[in-house]
Copies of this chain bind each other. A is one copy, B any other.
């Protein structure tokens, strides 16, 4: 494994940028923290655009659809265009439709938020669950209310702030009663960053199903897993050698790039720190790293 190259001045930035045509860019911890855009980020992205680079914003957050992301970019006054966002909810819908060729008469039971629903709708995939099961009235509860449903051909689980026992019991029953029902996660991040700390993420939300079923999912779409990258490469017809993943998390963003044969640029504005890649026992090493993506704004 070779040493990561630290980018610290304009000439290093220029020769780095010359190596790639396309940049896959993580959002949280790289271009913003929550609703706060990082310093010089808008200007740095303009530099990349002026150099003719193709940009794709890649997020594991399944609670927001591409449409939702476009809104957020606009609200934060960051230049964005249709087709420049790829989240794990869209990756899931894209994969289920185009790779899995999910039967039209079947439906997907969703433990998740509006982002997943919007993306399944955009791909014309039938679904159940999500919002319709968010209000769980336990006052007349009877386990016999949960019926098997042969129309459910897959369970898709992502981050869900409205998660409840009804959703877990239904998803479990569909999977447990029908060995042909597929089990997918939008992503498996154990936590996600917010408010200067972390909270249970999509991988935590899915854990009760994995524990109760005693088996792993049939597919996990988000970083660092391969399906999302396969979707992106197929969708945008990318050359991996001329593509670089930019991110703040070693175990999702950088591993995703490394697993996919992309270049990798690690930035120090998020979850992981410089010591995490310089430690003797570091396992995930980026090709390049720099203090902040905003530093490209000096070019």
Residues of chain A touching chain B, judged by Cβ–Cβ distance below 8 Å, are: 138, 141-144, 146, 160-165, 168-169, 172-173, 176-177, 190-191, 194-195, 197-201, 203-205, 207-212, 214
Given contacts A161-B138, A165-B162, contact A205 B204 (CB under 8 A): no
Identify the closest chain B residue to A210 (Cβ).
B207
With A163-B163, A208-B208 known, 10 other A-B pairs at CB within 8 A are: A143-B194, A143-B195, A162-B165, A165-B200, A169-B200, A176-B197, A190-B211, A204-B207, A205-B208, A207-B211
Contact residues in B for A163 (Cβ distance below 8 Å): 163-165
Contact residues in B for A194 (Cβ distance below 8 Å): 143
- Our pick among B162, B200, B203 for the contact of A168 (Cβ within 8 Å) is B200
Q: Is the CB of B195 within 8 A of A200?
A: no
Q: Is the CB of B200 within 8 A of A204?
A: no
Contact residues in B for A198 (Cβ distance below 8 Å): 176, 212
Identify the closest chain B residue to A138 (Cβ).
B161
Copies in the complex: 2
Residue contacts A-B, CB under 8 angstroms, 17 given: A138-B161, A142-B195, A143-B194, A143-B199, A160-B165, A162-B165, A163-B163, A163-B164, A172-B199, A173-B197, A190-B211, A198-B212, A203-B212, A204-B207, A204-B208, A207-B207, A208-B208
Q: Is the CB of A173 within 8 A of B199?
A: yes
Identify the closest chain B residue to A141 (Cβ).
B161
Task: Give Cα A190–Cα B208 distance, bound, in whole angstroms.
Answer: 8
Given contacts A141-B161, A161-B165, contact A204 B212 (CB under 8 A): yes
